[in-house]
Amino acid sequence: MSDRGWCSFARQHRGPGREGPFGYPAGARNQARPVIVVSHRMGGHKRTLDDDQWRHDNWVGVTFGVGRYKVGDIDQYCSVWDAHWGNGIAGAVPKYDRANVRLAALEKKGTWNPRPQYSPQAHSLDSGVMNLLNASGPCIEHEDATKDEPWPEPLVQNSIMVHQWIDEEFKREGWPFTWNADALVGHFQIDAVNRLSCPSYMGKYWPKARILASVKKEEEDMTIVACADSPHGFQNWALGSGNPRLIGSAAELTEAVKLFGPAKPISWGLLKTLGAT
Ligand SMILES: [Zn+2]
């Protein structure tokens, strides 16, 4: 079985009967095209989420569960490259946070469909049979033990470890992803009706700044380059530690330039010697 998309230091729930429900239709793989990483809180204990039978019986399909009591208490229930079922329902379309640039861009790609089985105003943002919000970024569940209070340090550390691993996995795959404030989404920004306290009331105790700083640290020295004679048609790349990373869209380029400054011209020959293929 491929380790692609599976975190080496998480307890992995893999194989028939162990992975939670995921994919569209159920069990379909490799549909994720991450542009966001979404944080949640469990509203209960992690041992419940870790129970494969419970997730299956309750139709709970998420990517990661992180514990609040011990550093390293991290479980993974599906690959980050698989669409899960955890982010996806907006409680009311007008309250969807389209001030977040990435959520606004996703909204343009899909169609809102009513989901009255969840709540009267609930909608899913779909493209064909697929819920776009579930296919557009991993879903991290944080153990809160039903308390809305500052996160204990092990919970913060576990969340940071998972976000840093996601960053490494995106880089390993050559997946263009820029970390900024809009890349980190709280569930309350998707569903401000039924999930206003996820991952904390309006995000109050969600340590977003620390998480963001932990993933951006590696990118502080990033240089954006433009390669006019690239034979692949893709001109823009980010150079940092490791191989050059392709910047695949105009929106990503705009964000990358905002963070790291304007693109500097580079020749394909030089870029190739730096590791681009
Ligand atoms: Zn949530």
DSSP string, 74-114: EEE-S-TTS--SSS-EES-GGGS-TTSHHHHHHHHHSEEEE
Two tokens, residue 99:
């001030």
Lowest mean pLDDT among 41-50, 136-145, 184-193, 237-246: 237-246
Distance separating alpha carbons of residues 250 and 174, to the nearest angstrom: 17
Instruction: Extract the tokens encoding 171.
Output: 């880089």
Amino acid at 127: S
The rounded Å distance from CA 246 to ligand 1 centre is 31
Q: How many angstroms does the Cα of residue 199 sit away from the middle of ligand 1?
A: 6
Distance CA(82)–CA(63), nearest Å, equals 9
> How many structural domains comprise the chain?
2
Report the separation in Å between the CA atom of 40 and the middle of ligand 1, taken as the mean of its atom positions: 4
Whether 238 shows a pLDDT value over 90: the answer reads no
Ion ligand 1, residues whose Cβ is below 5 A away: 40, 187, 195, 198
pLDDT value for 144: 87
What is the distance in A from the centroid of ligand 1 to the CA of 238? 32
Are the C-beta atoms of residues 56 and 73 closer than 8 Å to each other?
no
CB neighbours of 245 closer than 8 A, spacing ≥ 6?
Answer: 171, 174, 176, 237, 238
71 CA to centre of ligand 1 in angstroms: 22
How confident is the model at residue 217, as a pLDDT?
67
Helices 101-109 and 250-260 cross at an angle (nearest 10°) of: 170
With respect to residue 5, please indicate whether it lies within any of the assigned structural domains. Answer: no
Q: Which pLDDT band, with edges at 50, 70 and 90, does 261 fall under?
A: confident
CA 105 distance to own-chain centroid: 15
Same domain, 179 and 118: yes
Question: Based on the domain organization, do 176 and 256 belong to the same domain?
Answer: no
State the pLDDT at residue 145. 76
Distance 165 CA to ligand 1 centre (A): 21
Give the CATH number, domain containing residue 142. 3.40.80.10
Distance CA 191, CA 103 (A): 12
Q: Is the peptide bond before 25 cis (omega within 30 degrees of 0)?
A: yes
pLDDT tens, 79-134? 999 999 999 899 999 999 999 999 999 999 999 999 999 999 999 999 999 999 99
Residues 119 and 238 in one domain: no
